[in-house]
Every structure is written in C-alpha cells, then in structure tokens.
Amino acid sequence: MDQLTEKITTIKRHLKEEFLTDTRPWVVTFSGGKDSTTVLHLVVDMLLEMKKEGIVQTKKVYVVSSDTGVEMPLIEDYAGNKLDQIRKFAEKENLDIHVEKLSPKVTESFWTLLLGKGYPSPNQTFRWCTDRMKIRPATTFLKGLSDQNISILMLLGVRSDESASRAASIERRDDNFRGYSMHPDIPNAFVYSPIKDWTNAEVWTFLSKYPAPWGKHDDMMVLYDKGSGEGDCNVALNPEAATCGKTRFGCWVCTVVTKDKSMDNMLKNPEDQWMKPLHNFRNLLEDYRDPESGKRQPRRRNGQKSIGPFKLQTRKELLEKLLETEQKLKLELAGKTLIKDEEIIQIQEEWLNDGDFFESAIKLAKSYGRNVPYQSVKAFNQDEQEYIDSLCHEHNINKELIDHIMQCEHSYRHHSIRAKAFGEFETIIERFAKGQLNEI
C-alpha cells in the first residue's frame, strides 16, 4: 500500500469513528477549490461506505458555500453547477446532506456598500468586503446551527503544506484528544482539518486518480490550469482562511491586491477574453479609490475632515459604467446580471439619504433595460419631477445643478446652524459656471 492510499484509508476510518461517536452535525466548508473538494470527497466516500455496510446515518452533514454576488462568472457557474450536482447526488443516494449557499444581506452587499453608501473599493488597510460578504453570513448561519444542536463540527480543507504561515497557524491550535480545536468566534463549534498533513502533490494525485462521487473533478482542474497560484479563499467561515484576492476562486471586483493575476491569466485564454470589460471596471475601482483621483468626499460620514466615501456623482458614474458593462456582456452572461434588482433598489434608498430625490439609480437602470420595480414615499413622485423639469426648462436652469443644490441642502437638514450651507451653494454654482459640476 502506497503512502497516499494509506492516508486515505486512515482518514476514512477516522472520519467514520468520529461520525458515529456523537450526534453533533457536521459542516463541510466548500469553496470549490482543490482542498475543500478533497475533504468533501472523503466525507461522501465515507458516507457511501457506511450505507453499503448497512450503518444508518445518524446526523446531518451540511455543505456550506458562499455567494458574494461578485464572484468571477466562470467560478460562479462552476460552483453553482457543482453544488447542484452534490445536491442531486445526495437525493439520489438518500444521503442526509444539505447544501447551503450563503449570501450577504442586501444592505451589506458589495454594490450596496460601494455604490450606495460610497465605501471606497477595498484594500489591505480597509478590507470591509471579507467581513460583510463572507464572515457575517457564515457566522449567522453557523451560530444558528450551533444553537439548534448544542454543538457542531466544522471540517476545513486547510493544510500545513500550503505556506509557512498556514503551518504555524495550524501548529498553534490547541487540539483536544480527538484532534478538534475550538472555533474562536462560534460558541460550541469545533474545527477539524482531516487533510492538514497532506502535501499539495497528494491532493492533486487524489483528485486525478479518484473521480468525484457526484461527477468528476476535470472542470475544476481546467480552472486551475487557467489561473495562477495555489491559494483557496475558503468561502465559508474559516479561522485560517487564505488571503482573499490571491486566488482564482475570488471576486472579479477585488482590489485588495494591486494586480489581479488570476484574471490576467484567465484573459490569456481566447475563450475567456470576453471578461476583459470586467477587468477594466475592476481597474477603474482601484483608480477611483486613490485620494488624488478627485472622486471622493473631503469629509467622512461623521463630518471628520479626511478622505471620505465616493462622491454621489462618482457613484452614479460607476453604476452607469456597471450597467453599461452588463449590457455589453449580455450574451456571455446568458440571462444573469452583474447587479441584482434588490441591490439597485437599496442603492436608491441610500442615495435618497444623500439627497437624490430624482430616483437616479432607478432611472439609470431603466435606461439600460432594467425595469426595477420601485416606488418611494420620500422621493419626488412623477408629477413633482415633471413640475421641476418644467420649471428648469422655463427658466433655462440646468436640472443637474438643482439636483446638486438640493443634495447639499439635504445634507444640512439636521444642523441647527446652517450658515455653511450657503458657502457650499456658492461653490456648487461657481463650479457649474466653470463646467466642473461633476467634480463636486
């Protein structure tokens, strides 16, 4: 028996022993990458062997994945198809496996925060995306599951062989006699890494030699061949997750890294060059983040004088470019959208708080063929908007200028002393006269 075969046999035996020891449910975090796929493959093999031996499955197994809403389209399709295969296979084999895809709340989605509230695109010092889009949805789900079952066991696809920092992280864990460690944030949740001692070569050998119970691993290997690096950003809550942005299994809008090598390598393939507009948009987000770009407010939301969020005009510009990109890629996206209707609605609600009473987000969406169902009780209704339009036309006043002035006035609505507003009105009018209105 070779070393890998011996490891496989030992792990399956250990998994079976642990599975039958107690009733706590298992959670297999699944990103679609090679390591999490290997762990899931081993768990499913173990369940099938138990079934063949006539052993009744005594607990549920949850396969937990994440949908950030901004995954690279190729990865989104791959992960979605893989989860469907796993779900159908479990039903066919009568295995108690539940596939859970976790998503952030619409109020905390990438587009709501970036385009709605004006959060600057993430970087290493302000990396708000991981917490909002991955950690919080997973924490909510896992805490709920733990509360319902007293305790849960999470199976992670992490390995010491991945990097020196990963090896040190695993080494620091305080494992109990069963090889489990306490999760640092989820009460009564334990962590187990069955392949932590596997080498990179052993993982690939296993995936190449043994077809997936639910299908095959070929499509995953094709994706790895197209990209670069070996990182796997675990999309469920993982206390030892690799740095997002250094993996092909990531977000197409990621600006956490200076250069998106994954997309760069994808675009070298003729069949994937259609994603170039996505890469261009990502680069635009990085450029606009620069404090010298003129695209950000000179104050933070709390009024502190510092580089603040994206200006409302910048957010309008970015939403239009996003919708334009979506329309340009309509054929390749095959019915999918880059931004959901509910996100556009939430963005409009956020813009309303910043004084956009003309439903700019809804109108922009409509101009690009997105008929988003929306009706606000605070924004101007159709008659009011038409009346303002007529006044602007009658007095030869630029409607955009009025829009900016109203946004400025709205920003002072809670101020007891509003004298500064008049100075800002003058600045707006002066810049309009100089043709610099969009710089406000």
CATH number, position 55: 3.40.50.620
Q: Domain ends where: 216, 247, 274?
A: 216
Q: Is residue 243 part of a domain?
A: no
Region of 401 on the Ramachandran plot (φ > 0 left; ψ -120 to 50 alpha; else beta): alpha
Which of the residue ranges 49-63, 231-245, 416-430 would you say has the lowest mean pLDDT? 231-245
| 321 against 243, higher pLDDT | 321
Q: Structural domain tally of the chain?
A: 2
Which of the residue ranges 44-48, 109-113, 147-151, 314-318 would you say has the lowest mean pLDDT? 147-151
Q: What confidence tens digit (pLDDT) does each residue in 183-227 have?
A: 888 888 999 999 999 998 999 999 999 999 999 998 888 888 776
Is residue 118 within 8 Å of 312, Cβ to Cβ? yes
Q: Is residue 199 part of a domain?
A: yes
Confidence class for position 154, pLDDT limits 50, 70, 90 = very high
The amino acid present at 359, given as its one-letter code, is E
**Environment class of 414 (CB within 10 Å of its CB; exposed 0-12, middle 13-18, buried 19+):** exposed
Of the spans 232-241, 347-356, 378-387, which averages the highest pLDDT? Answer: 347-356
Q: Domain ends where: 216, 243, 271?
A: 216
| 431 against 81, higher pLDDT | 81
Q: Is residue 400 part of a domain?
A: yes
Residue 137 and residue 372: Cα distance in Å, rounded? 26
Q: Domain ends where: 199, 216, 233?
A: 216
Q: Token pair 């009011």 is at which residue?
A: 384
| 268 against 154, higher pLDDT | 154
Q: Is the pLDDT of residue 406 over 60?
A: yes
| 34 against 408, higher pLDDT | 34
Average pLDDT of the residues of the chain = 84
Task: Count CB neighbours of 334 within 10 A.
Answer: 9
Confidence class for position 99, pLDDT limits 50, 70, 90 = very high
Confidence class for position 304, pLDDT limits 50, 70, 90 = confident
Residue 194 and residue 78: Cα distance in Å, rounded? 25
Q: Is residue 86 part of a domain?
A: yes
Q: Is residue 176 part of a domain?
A: yes
pLDDT at residue 266 in the model: 85
Which of the residue ranges 14-23, 313-322, 372-381 would you say has the lowest mean pLDDT? 372-381
**Residues spanned by the domain of 132:** 3-105+127-216
Task: Count CB neighbours of 258 within 10 A.
Answer: 10
Confidence class for position 378, pLDDT limits 50, 70, 90 = low
Q: Is residue 90 part of a domain?
A: yes
| 407 against 170, higher pLDDT | 407
Confidence class for position 434, pLDDT limits 50, 70, 90 = low
Q: Is residue 425 part of a domain?
A: yes
Q: Is residue 321 part of a domain?
A: no
